[in-house]
Amino acid sequence: MSLSALKNKYIDVKLILLLAAFYTLFNLVYLGKLAYMRAFVYREIVESWHDIIIHNMLIDWIIVVVYMSLIAISTKRLLDENYSWIRIFLLHTLFSILIGFVIRFVFDLHGILLGRMTFADYSIKASIDRMIFVIDLNFLIYFAMIFIIYTYYYLKQVKETEKQKTLLESQLTNTRMKMLSSQLQPHFLFNTLNSISVLVEMDAKKAQDTIADLSDLLREILYSSENYKVSLRKELRMLDYYLNILTLRFSDHLIIEKNIDESLLDQLVPSLLLQPVIENSVKHGYSYHNIHLKIVINISKSRGYLVLSVHNNGKPLTEKQEALLEKGVGISNTRDRLLTLYGKKASFKIRNKEGGVETLIKIPFSKT
């Protein structure tokens, strides 16, 4: 990963400014307390305000803000890598103690460089004593800022979740409308109704089954719940309605073969995932040179991933056809939904394969 990508992923400028603002407010409160103490309690204090603000508070402010910015970056990585909460708490406890040593070391080095103290005068024990004297305050300040960091990341995650939910709703609605538009095209309905009309005299039972399939297909598209994911079992059931109608329309010119690992039927998949892929296979698989189309649906598992493959024996795609497919509403919408749901963990590929064209989808396991 490039330096720029790492910066965008882990460095949040708004969070750093928030931490800086909090510690600035803390210092302002401290200054107010100190002013009161000097005026009414310890009037014998003679240290100048210049030394207090420049040589003490400013250096301390810089150290704490830089240190906590690094902690914020580390915390983001800890959250991304799913460390246990016990481990995270122990690490933060260690860091809360370490910050005292860092501050003390920088102050001692600053004093030596400015000539306020010589190496001969420097005492490790005295330095540790001063650090221990404020260890409780450092602990409280550290965990107050950690609380800010975790609250910030939590609220940010809530916003991203809401944004993702809205995006998914839009994508799912687009998919449903695309499917509905596809199925309600005049030629689709006319061909299906004509087939039913012919079957009424020849095979009344099959005509009734086709009407039921058409009704169930449209009902699933229109009225099914707005779930982003459904079980593979439900997805395949809805797909069967569509495949039954396709098989009727194309008669002996279309063969559908399924190879499905039944142990995967409870795995969750994006709703309405397979139908656009099948539609695409039929649309581009048929040609004057290939009027007998075979579509093979394979669903298996591989190293924690659900692998869905749709292969047709149509003519290999040209580069121009591949580009048009990538821009198509159904394919682009499917890609967007996979990216929204799984990020880079999912993959979607359309590729020429020996004997035809394959659409390959890989998504992480997610069980009901």
Q: Is residue 164 part of a domain?
A: yes
Q: Is residue 17 part of a domain?
A: yes
Roughly how many angstroms between the first and final C-alpha of the chain, as a whole number? 34
pLDDT for 65 equals 92
> What three-state secondary structure class fits 317?
coil
pLDDT for 184 equals 41
The reply to whether 110 and 227 lie within a common domain is: no
Boundary (domain end) residue, out of 147, 176, 205: 176
Boundary (domain end) residue, out of 157, 176, 195: 176
Element (H, E) at 191: helix 186-202
Q: What is the pLDDT of residues 295-341, one digit of tens each?
A: 999 999 998 899 999 999 988 888 887 777 766 666 777 888 888 78
The reply to whether 193 and 236 lie within a common domain is: yes
The reply to whether 63 and 198 lie within a common domain is: no
Q: What is the pLDDT of residues 194-240, one digit of tens each?
A: 777 777 777 778 788 888 888 887 777 666 545 678 899 988 988 88
Q: Is residue 307 part of a domain?
A: yes
The set of residues, in sequence order, having a beta carbon less than 8 Å from that of 134 and lying 6+ positions away, is: 100
Are 265 and 232 a contacting pair, CB within 8 Å? Answer: yes
The reply to whether 325 and 213 lie within a common domain is: yes
The reply to whether 101 and 26 lie within a common domain is: yes
The reply to whether 78 and 35 lie within a common domain is: yes
The total of structural domains in the chain comes to 2
Are 148 and 18 a contacting pair, CB within 8 Å? Answer: yes
CA dihedral 272, 275, 280, 283 (to 10 degrees): -140
Of 334, 263, 332, the residue nearest 299 (C-alpha): 263
Q: What is the pLDDT of residues 30-77, one digit of tens each?
A: 999 988 888 888 766 667 888 888 878 898 999 999 999 999 888 888
Indicate which CATH number applies to the domain containing 266.
3.30.565.10
Report yes or no on whether pTM surpasses 0.85.
no
Please indicate whether residue 187 or residue 168 has the higher confidence score (pLDDT): 168
Are 248 and 192 a contacting pair, CB within 8 Å? Answer: yes
The reply to whether 154 and 136 lie within a common domain is: yes
pLDDT for 152 equals 92
Q: Is residue 181 part of a domain?
A: no
The reply to whether 109 and 196 lie within a common domain is: no
pLDDT for 191 equals 64
Q: What is the pLDDT of residues 337-358, one digit of tens each?
A: 888 788 889 999 999 988 889 9
Q: What is the pLDDT of residues 232-268, one digit of tens each?
A: 998 898 888 888 888 877 777 889 999 999 999 999 9
> What three-state secondary structure class fits 46?
coil
Q: Is residue 9 part of a domain?
A: yes
Q: What is the pLDDT of residues 103-133, one digit of tens each?
A: 888 888 888 887 777 777 788 888 888 888 8
Percentage of the chain modeled with pLDDT above 90: 26
Element (H, E) at 59: helix 59-80
The reply to whether 296 and 150 lie within a common domain is: no
The reply to whether 134 and 248 lie within a common domain is: no
Boundary (domain end) residue, out of 121, 152, 176: 176
The reply to whether 288 and 166 lie within a common domain is: no
The reply to whether 249 and 346 lie within a common domain is: yes
- Angle (CA) 59-65-67 rounded to 5° is 100
pLDDT for 183 equals 45
pLDDT for 253 equals 84
pLDDT for 175 equals 62
Q: Is residue 202 part of a domain?
A: yes
pLDDT at 177 over 60: no
Domain that holds residue 153: 3-176
pLDDT for 186 equals 47
pLDDT band at 179 (very low <50, low <70, confident <90, very high): low
Rounded CA separation 257/251 (Å)? 15
pLDDT for 247 equals 82
